[in-house]
Amino acid sequence: MKFKDYPISKLLVEQLDVLGYKKPTDIQFKAIKPILEGEDVMAVAQTGTGKTAAFVIPVLDKILKEKEKGRKGIQCLVMVPTRELAKQIASVFRDIGAKTKVKTFGLFGGVEQEQQIRTLENGIDVLVTTPGRMFDLISQGFIDVSSAKFLVLDEADLMLDLGFNKDIQDIIFRLPKNRQTLFFTATIDKKIKSLAYKIVRDAIRIQISPKNPVSKNIDHAVAFVEMDDKRFFLENLIKEYPDFQFIVFARTKVRVERVVEAMKRVGVSSEALHGSVEQKDRFAILDRFRNGENKVLITTDVACRGIDIPTVDYVVNYDVPDNPENYVHRCGRTGRGNKHGQAISFCSPEEKVLIEAIEAYTGDEIEQYTLTLEEYKQILADSEDVTYNWQKLIDQSNKEFGKENEW
């Protein structure tokens, strides 16, 4: 089946062709038809499988039909947990709806309200927003969602799990009772499922996730590395693939900054992204990474969800995540769509328990990247960081490497 076979506007079909959408992905194939037919949908699919377009395409088509009837005001409300995701989903609406007159606005905090208020006053059809700024402007009388026909929750598991449930319930009271609700997520558990069924009504359940929630497009492995040696292994990997684009995940913003400095010492250019970076700078950093001006992004889990940059070749878990679900989302930053991706985790002895938790969650053992003692020592010796005592590090690795089989 192709997009032209769906009963959607020719304007959308033409633009999808311009954007290179050839045929629906699995989640798009299963979600578009019931959404067009007015069903509530609860969809679970791996990251990178085209979930956003799965709701954007049919929602845009239905909004076009509403506009033909003379309907005005916000027709679709999309709620997301992060500012980056709000900006990204708004851009997908604008890209796919480029040939239409549907107006989409991405609303989030961290920026001045004045321009946002002017945009809202000029009229919009689709509001993609984080809860905080939305409720600020609702309370000030600048947002009215009483005419919205569609409520979309994206990365819905995170929204419900992080305490946004009250915000969702509050907004539901402001929406029409005959709305259509779409619930999209990559991971779900019993608790989230229970909350979800309180939001969607008689929903069509769509699940594309196989037993292992890590996309089949991603080869993921673990290398057992001493905590203090991780920077040398990262340097080695980046220099081995100088044309690749890397997202590197560290546990805290302090660790992110330290890794950036460590890479700087060895001539590797990178940028840091974390919650303490100003919002406008965060967007600028992501734009430079998306445009290929910077090939190495070192970040906390602020970037583990929803960031769709198809050119990412490699994900590096510099620190193994505490939450197994975040492992799935981190790895999902590569292998987007039909592309193939690589992911590797640098696991220190004290992080072994986290790898075991991830394997229990995914239901599969993670492939081990094996290194001989000589290979390990050579990676340390090859580093260009001249501020460290290599012989001491190598002697230490000789002692620790003997514990390899215990890991």
pLDDT tens profile 5-14: 999 999 999 9
Q: What's the whole-number mean pLDDT along residues 119-123?
A: 94
Token pair 């696991």 is at which residue?
347
Does position 87 have pLDDT exceeding 60, yes or no?
Answer: yes
Instruction: Give the Cα separation of 27 and 51 in Å (integer).
Output: 6
Does position 397 have pLDDT exceeding 70, yes or no?
Answer: no
pLDDT one-digit tens code per residue, 306-335: 677 889 999 999 999 998 888 988 998 898
Topology alike, domains 3-207 and 218-406 = yes
pLDDT one-digit tens code per residue, 208-248: 765 567 778 889 999 999 999 999 999 999 999 999 999 99
Q: Is the pTM of this model over 0.75?
A: no
pLDDT value at residue 406: 42
Q: Are 289 and 309 in contact (CB under 8 A)?
A: yes
Q: What's the whole-number mean pLDDT along residues 83-90?
A: 89
The pLDDT > 90 percentage for the chain reads 57
Superfamily of chain region 3-207: P-loop containing nucleotide triphosphate hydrolases (3.40.50.300)
Q: Tokens standing for 400?
A: 């620790």
pLDDT value at residue 190: 73
Instruction: Give the Cα separation of 214 and 344 in Å (integer).
Output: 13
pLDDT band at 405 (very low <50, low <70, confident <90, very high): very low
pLDDT band at 206 (very low <50, low <70, confident <90, very high): confident
Instruction: Give the Cα separation of 299 and 284 in Å (integer).
Output: 14
pLDDT value at residue 163: 66
Each domain of the chain, given as residue ranges in start order, spans 3-207, 218-406
Q: Shortest CA distance to 305 belongs to which of 157, 199, 155, 177? A: 155
The fold for domain 218-406 equals Rossmann fold (3.40.50)
pLDDT band at 29 (very low <50, low <70, confident <90, very high): very high
pLDDT value at residue 185: 83
Q: What's the whole-number mean pLDDT along residues 53-78?
A: 93
Instruction: Give the Cα separation of 361 and 234 in Å (integer).
Output: 26
Does position 38 have pLDDT exceeding 70, yes or no?
Answer: yes
Does position 379 have pLDDT exceeding 70, yes or no?
Answer: yes
Neighbouring residues of 42: CB distance < 8 A, sequence distance ≥ 6? 183, 196, 197, 200, 203, 204, 205, 206
pLDDT value at residue 355: 95
Instruction: Give the Cα separation of 335 and 342 in Å (integer).
Output: 7
Instruction: Give the Cα separation of 282 and 287 in Å (integer).
Output: 9
What is the chain's mean pLDDT, rounded? 88
Q: What's the whole-number mean pLDDT along residues 348-374?
A: 91
Q: What's the whole-number mean pLDDT along residues 364-382?
A: 89
For residues 66 and 105, which has the higher predicted lDDT (pLDDT)?
105
pLDDT one-digit tens code per residue, 253-311: 999 999 999 999 999 999 999 988 888 898 899 999 999 999 999 999 888 776 778 89
Beta strands in 173-212 (DSSP E): 180-185, 204-207
Phi and psi angles of residue 375, each rounded to the nearest 5 degrees, phi first: -65, -40
pLDDT value at residue 395: 64
